[in-house]
Amino acid sequence: MTHWGARGLPVPAERNENARPSWPSELDRLPLETTALGTRTAGAAEIVVRRADGLRGARLRLADDVETTTREDGGVHLQCPLEDPDLGLAVTVHLRTSTHHDVVAKWAELRNCGDQPVELLRGWGGAFNAPVGPGARVGVLSGAWGHEFTPAEIDLGVGTVSVGSRQGITSHDFSPVVTLSSRAEPTNTYAVALAWSGSWRLAVDAPPFREHVRVAGGTDDESGIHRLEAGESMVTPAVLGLWCAGTDADDVAAAWHTYQRVIGRGTGPEHRPIVYNSWYATRFHVQVDHQLRLAREAARLGAEAFVVDDGWFRGRTSDRAGLGDWEPDPTKFPSGLEALVDGVRELGMTFGIWIEPEAVSPDSELYRRHPDWIHRAAGRAAITRRNQYTLDLGIPDVEQWVTEMLRRLLTDYDIGFLKWDMNRLIADGGQTQPGGDDWSWRHTQAYYRVLDMLRTEFPEVTVEACSGGGGRYDNAVLARSDLVWTSDETGPRDRLSIQHGFLSGYPAWTMSSWVTDEPDVRDTEPASLEFRFVVAMAGALGIGADLLAWDTDERERASAMVAIYRQIRSVVHTGRVRRHGTPAEEAYAIQYTTRDSVVVLAWRRPGAALRLRLADLDDLDENARYRAPDGGNVSAHDLAETGYPIGWTWGDCDIVVFHRHDRREQ
Ligand code: DGJ
């Protein structure tokens, strides 16, 4: 790459004269796209390789001409063939751009052309060199279960900082996305993400005195080794990079959302129904009559899909049993699951179901039949978490079994919504078998294949990704699912913070959010029913409360909120997101802007006032006018400069909609 960002901005080689007298080679100073330990002698490298006879490192050189093809959308696909003939390693570096978004994707294909096995101690796809140094301000999304997507900033003066997961899933702890800007004068922002859902690592390397800070990533190189037999090849996960003028986090977010609009399958309501999910109302005590009563109330409120969560299948009376035995429990559904499916369909809703395909309970028929199908270090006692094991999807028989089980479920029943959960990390992957070090890689690849099968064979089915909330979400999952259950924390103020962080790297149309009952376990601060609805409306609205416990007043207010949501849904899901302040402030708002409308969702603590100066109104001249909710006719200029006083319709929250109209209508 000759520049990254605005034309003429960075130069390819280090200019910093302080770096010159140092010992590293010229290659160490160049902002190489992808390189190997052994090619770069001192700097960070993406490929660390060891041949069976102990030869370590690779000296990569250009093997052929660089091939550049223009893609259908006008973007470019560049392929750069490198090789180390002595070692027998061929590396093709791929770079892809698009005219529909600003993201550059980089990945590598590594092939063992020698006659001995080669171990990839690190097999990453590429690096981005951000000219922000020396050092960098590094922005990450960190967290924990129930606290996902919490923004944090690391002031990196020198050295390497890395974030990642060794858990076989993306993890609640870090999301694979970082931002970089200068510590001295932050004028631009560089952002890098990794499209990978197994164990991973993103490393930010800031060498002393250097202008270029290098960001690279791929599968976790601490907990896994990839072995290439003679003739074998592998394609690394893609690292994604973008540049943004300025330091506005919403501009970076908007650039990611534009990219995600292209890699996902649309933002429309067909795969973002208003869901009623019965988990919080019933937990494991699923009973067909009770579910049907909940479904009737949900339909009255305006829900479009009814999802029966955990607890519907054979033997599932608690979290100690049943996972893996995916047939309706005959005591809960004496006349079969059809009774619920048909009842829900007759109410005009899509029927949805929860499943955890990778999980198996020790107390299950599946485990009794196949104790050798789980992740475990052979010879050691298997580890349970939440009383369950994880199936090793990387075993071909297991992948086939899961694929067929899902095919059967979706064929036997009229299911239009599938919530795919995963309730534990995999701490004990890697059976003692050839290639066992690669367990996370193989598991994740199989997970993708099964998701791809769902999309190809059951395109009408909406898939909601979940892992105890947001434990497995990233750009690779996003490309293969429609929604994500963002967090198990549904207390509205905590949830607002989680959603605030989520939106900085991921889009509103995938952000599943439910209204649940008060008080929540952790966030016990009271909030009106409307407050909770407006929080959930910031993404894809759902309801997870015990509707049978709601009184008439609550039901009426809830259906009024659902009706409002239907009117604003398309703007929330397609509009440009602008966060005004943070949820920690006395008043906070999110603005969604399309060409024709602006929707503002606002929340406050008692007594706070907010005059909101709208942003992103492209056309600030006199012709651009908006109809305000009170019927007033406001110019874009006034909305941006003078601002609009939020009226707080429901006391602690508000929804304000502005419709753009042209002069002919005035
Ligand atoms: C964790 C999920 O995040 C919840 O929504 C629920 O589906 C439970 N698992 C069920 O076990």
Residue 658: both structure tokens together:
């502005």
Query: pLDDT by residue (tens digit) across 430-445?
Result: 765 655 789 999 999 9
**Mutation probe of ligand 1 site: the residue of 172, 275, 279 with most atoms within 8 A of C-beta:** 279
Q: Where are the beta strands (DSSP E) in 421-505?
A: 462-465, 483-485
Span from the CA of 322 to the centroid of ligand 1 (angstroms): 15
Question: What is the DSSP annotation of 505-556?
Answer: TS-GGGEEEEE-PSSPSS------HHHHHHHHHTSEEEE-S-GGG--HHHHH
CB of 493 closer than 8 Å to CB of 170: no
Residue 265: both structure tokens together:
């399958």
Query: pLDDT by residue (tens digit) across 589-601?
Result: 999 999 999 999 9
State whether the beta carbon of 466 lies less than 6 angstroms from ligand 1. Answer: yes
Residue 29's pLDDT band (cuts 50, 70, 90): confident
CB of 170 closer than 8 Å to CB of 477: yes
State whether the beta carbon of 423 lies less than 6 angstroms from ligand 1. Answer: yes
Span from the CA of 469 to the centroid of ligand 1 (angstroms): 7
Residue 556 neighbours by CB under 8 Å, 6+ apart: none
Residue 666: per-residue pLDDT? 45
Query: pLDDT by residue (tens digit) across 402-412?
Result: 999 999 999 99
State whether the beta carbon of 542 lies less than 6 angstroms from ligand 1. Answer: no
The burial class, CB within 10 Å (0-12 / 13-18 / 19+), for 121 is: middle
Query: CA-to-CA distance for 426 and 403, rounded, in angstroms?
Result: 20
In the chain, count H helices and then E strands.
13, 36
CB of 594 closer than 8 Å to CB of 571: yes
Span from the CA of 467 to the centroid of ligand 1 (angstroms): 8
The 3-state DSSP class for residue 568 equals: helix
Query: pLDDT by residue (tens digit) across 238-271?
Result: 999 999 999 999 999 999 999 999 999 999 999 9
Q: Whose CA is nearest to atom 10 of ligand 1?
A: 310
Residue 466: per-residue pLDDT? 98
> What phi, psi does 263 have (nearest 5°)?
-85, -20
- Pairing type for strands 462-465 and 417-420 reads parallel
Whole-Å CA distances, 445 to 10, 234, 360, 390, 455: 36, 11, 19, 15, 15
Instruction: Read off the amino acid at residue 326.
Output: W
Span from the CA of 356 to the centroid of ligand 1 (angstroms): 9
**Mutation probe of ligand 1 site: the residue of 313, 356, 485, 513 with most atoms within 8 A of C-beta:** 485
Instruction: Read off the amino acid at residue 320.
Output: R
Residue 160: per-residue pLDDT? 98
Identify the residue whose tokens are 């003939």. 85
State whether the beta carbon of 354 lies less than 6 angstroms from ligand 1. Answer: yes
Q: Whose CA is nearest to atom 4 of ligand 1?
A: 468
Q: What is the mean pLDDT of the chain?
A: 94
Task: State mean pLDDT over 351-356.
Answer: 98
Task: Report the atom number in ligand 1 closest to the C-alpha of 277.
Answer: 5
* pLDDT more than 70, % of the chain: 95
State whether the beta carbon of 488 lies less than 6 angstroms from ligand 1. Answer: yes
Query: pLDDT by residue (tens digit) across 37-53?
Result: 999 988 899 999 999 89
The H or E element spanning position 28 is helix 26-29
Identify the residue whose tokens are 């750009």. 475
* pLDDT more than 90, % of the chain: 86
**Mutation probe of ligand 1 site: the residue of 312, 424, 466 with most atoms within 8 A of C-beta:** 466
Query: pLDDT by residue (tens digit) across 80-128?
Result: 999 999 999 999 999 999 999 999 999 999 999 999 999 999 999 999 9
- Pairing type for strands 350-355 and 417-420 reads parallel
Query: CA-to-CA distance for 465 and 485, rounded, in angstroms?
Result: 6
Question: What is the DSSP annotation of 190-244?
Answer: EEEEE---SSEEEEEEE-TT-S-EEEEEEE-TTT--EEE-TT-EEEPPPEEEEEE
Of 571, 494, 504, 570, the C-alpha closest to 532 is 494
CB of 309 closer than 8 Å to CB of 354: yes
Instruction: Read off the amino acid at residue 105.
Output: A
CB of 252 closer than 8 Å to CB of 189: yes
Rounded-to-10 torsion of CA 355, 361, 364, 365:
80
* pLDDT of 624 higher than 90: no
Whole-Å CA distances, 484 to 261, 496, 588: 15, 16, 24
> What phi, psi does 40 have (nearest 5°)?
-85, 130
Q: Whose CA is nearest to atom 9 of ligand 1?
A: 468
Query: CA-to-CA distance for 146 and 493, rounded, in angstroms?
Result: 12
State whether the beta carbon of 146 lies less than 6 angstroms from ligand 1. Answer: no
State whether the beta carbon of 373 lies less than 6 angstroms from ligand 1. Answer: no
Query: CA-to-CA distance for 201 and 531, rounded, in angstroms?
Result: 38
Q: Where are the beta strands (DSSP E) in 113-149?
A: 118-123, 127-130, 136-142
Identify the residue whose tokens are 């061929």. 90
pTM for the full model? 0.96
* pLDDT of 11 higher than 60: no
Task: Report the atom number in ligand 1 closest to the C-alpha of 466.
Answer: 3
SS3 track for 288-339: HHHHHHHHHHHHHHCCCEEEECCCCECCCCCCCECCCCCCECCCCCCCCCHH
Of 550, 486, 542, 540, the C-alpha closest to 518 is 550
SS3 track for 61-120: EECCCCEEEECCCCCEEEEEEEEECCCCEEEEEEEECCCCCCCEEEEEEEEECCCCCEEE
Q: Whose CA is nearest to atom 1 of ligand 1?
A: 468
State whether the beta carbon of 309 lies less than 6 angstroms from ligand 1. Answer: yes
State whether the beta carbon of 514 lies less than 6 angstroms from ligand 1. Answer: no
Query: CA-to-CA distance for 231 and 619, rounded, in angstroms?
Result: 58
CA angle 356, 358, 362 (to 5 degrees): 90
28 alpha-carbon distance from chain centroid: 33
Task: Report the atom number in ligand 1 closest to the C-alpha of 309.
Answer: 7
Of 492, 473, 498, 491, the C-alpha closest to 483 is 473
Residue 109: per-residue pLDDT? 98
State whether the beta carbon of 485 lies less than 6 angstroms from ligand 1. Answer: yes
* pLDDT of 285 higher than 60: yes
**Other C-beta atoms within 10 Å of 397: how many?**
11
Of 36, 66, 62, the C-alpha closest to 51 is 36
State whether the beta carbon of 420 lies less than 6 angstroms from ligand 1. Answer: no
> What phi, psi does 526 have (nearest 5°)?
-65, 145
Min mean pLDDT across 75-89, 190-204, 413-427, 607-621 is at: 607-621
The H or E element spanning position 175 is strand 174-181
Span from the CA of 400 to the centroid of ligand 1 (angstroms): 25
Identify the residue whose tokens are 């939020």. 646
